[in-house]
C-alpha cells in the first residue's frame, strides 16, 4: 500500500536566536573599562546571581559611550530578530528594553529562573574565559530547561524535540535571544578569570500617538 510523503509541522516551536556582532573587540574592551569603573562605586544588586556583581537594570539608559553603543546594537538585533520571526508585526508596536551587567568571578553562578512578562530575553557576551585544563566542560555555560515539562519516560528516545535541556557556551561578541518564559541558569564559573555579560529583556508596547 502506497502513501504520500509525511507532512511535518512544528506545533510548539521555541525560537533560539544567535547573532554575531562584527568588529566587537574594541567595543568590548571599552565596555569592560566602563564596567570596572562602575563596580568601584556601585554595590550591585541580588537577583538570580549567586556571588558576583549584578548591576542595576539601567543599561539602556546609561550615558557611558560603550554602554550606549552596545545598547543601540542590541535594540537593532531585537528588531531584526522580531522582523524575521514575526513578519506581520504591527507597525503600531515599539520595543521597550531593560538590561544589566553580570560579572561572574570564580565559583559565581545564576540559579534557574525565567523572565516572565518579557517577550524576549537575551544575553550579550563581553568577556568569556578561555577553557582551562582544570575547569569542567560546563564552566560558565548557559543551560535552558524544556518549558513543556515532563514529556515521557526515562526510556524515551533522545532526539532534538524530546530532550529536556539545551546547553550552550557562547563566545565573546555573541548575542543570544530566546522567549522570556524559558527557564535557564548559568553553571558555576570554574575559571580563574571573570565572565562578563550583558543580560536584557525586551517587550512590545503601543507607540505613543
pLDDT tens, residue by residue, 53-108: 999 999 999 999 999 999 999 999 999 999 999 999 998 999 999 999 999 999 99
Q: What SS3 class is residue 113?
A: strand
- 113 within domain boundaries: yes
Asked whether residue 151 carries a pLDDT value surpassing 70, the answer given is no
Query: Which range has the worst mean pLDDT, 60-64, 115-119, 145-149?
Result: 145-149
How high is the pLDDT of residue 156? 64
**Which CATH number is 143's domain given?**
2.60.120.620
As a residue count, the chain comes to: 209
How high is the pLDDT of residue 133? 56
Burial of 20 (0-12, 13-18, 19+ CB in 10 A): exposed
| pLDDT digits 0-9 by tens, 19-52 | 999 999 999 999 999 999 999 999 999 999 999 9
- 11 within domain boundaries: no
- 74 within domain boundaries: yes
What is the C-alpha separation between 189 and 107, in angstroms, rounded? Answer: 5
Give the domain range for residue 116: 17-206
- 1 within domain boundaries: no
123-130: average pLDDT: 95
Asked whether residue 136 carries a pLDDT value surpassing 80, the answer given is no
Q: How far is CA 78 from CA 81, 186, 197, in A?
A: 5, 22, 17
- 119 within domain boundaries: yes
Work out how many domains the chain is built from and give that number: 1
pTM of the model: 0.93
How high is the pLDDT of residue 137? 80
How high is the pLDDT of residue 142? 97
135 pLDDT tier (thresholds 50, 70, 90): low
> What's the 3-state SS for 34-81?
HHHHHHCCCCCCCCCEECCEECCCCHHHCCCHHHHHHHHHHHHHHHHH
Q: Using a pLDDT cut of 90, give the percent of the chain over it.
A: 80
- 9 within domain boundaries: no
- 136 within domain boundaries: yes
- 93 within domain boundaries: yes
Amino acid at each position: 500500500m502506497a502513501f504520500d510523503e509525511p507532512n511535518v509541522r512544528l506545533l510548539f516551536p521555541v525560537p533560539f536566536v544567535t547573532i554575531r556582532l562584527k568588529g566587537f573587540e574594541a567595543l568590548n574592551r571599552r565596555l569592560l573599562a566602563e564596567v570596572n569603573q562602575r563596580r568601584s562605586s556601585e554595590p550591585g544588586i541580588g537577583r538570580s546571581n549567586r556571588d558576583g556583581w549584578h548591576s542595576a537594570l539601567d543599561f539602556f539608559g546609561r550615558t557611558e559611550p560603550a554602554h550606549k553603543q552596545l545598547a543601540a546594537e542590541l535594540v537593532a538585533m531585537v528588531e531584526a530578530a522580531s522582523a524575521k520571526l514575526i513578519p506581520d508585526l504591527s507597525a503600531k508596536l515599539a520595543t521597550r528594553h531593560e538590561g544589566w551587567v553580570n560579572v561572574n568571578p570564580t565559583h559565581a553562578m545564576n540559579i534557574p529562573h525565567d523572565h516572565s512578562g518579557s517577550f524576549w530575553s537575551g544575553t550579550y557576551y563581553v568577556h568569556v574565559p578561555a577553557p582551562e585544563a582544570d575547569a569542567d566542560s560546563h564552566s560558565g555555560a548557559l543551560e535552558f530547561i524544556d518549558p513543556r515539562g515532563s514529556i515521557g519516560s526515562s526510556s524515551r528516545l533522545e532526539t532534538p524535540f524530546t530532550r529536556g535541556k539545551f546547553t550552550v557556551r557562547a563566545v565573546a561578541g555573541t548575542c543570544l535571544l530566546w522567549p522570556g518564559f524559558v527557564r535557564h541558569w548559568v553553571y558555576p564559573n570554574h575559571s580563574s578569570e571573570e565572565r562578563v555579560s550583558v543580560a536584557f529583556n525586551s517587550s512590545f508596547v503601543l507607540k505613543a500617538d
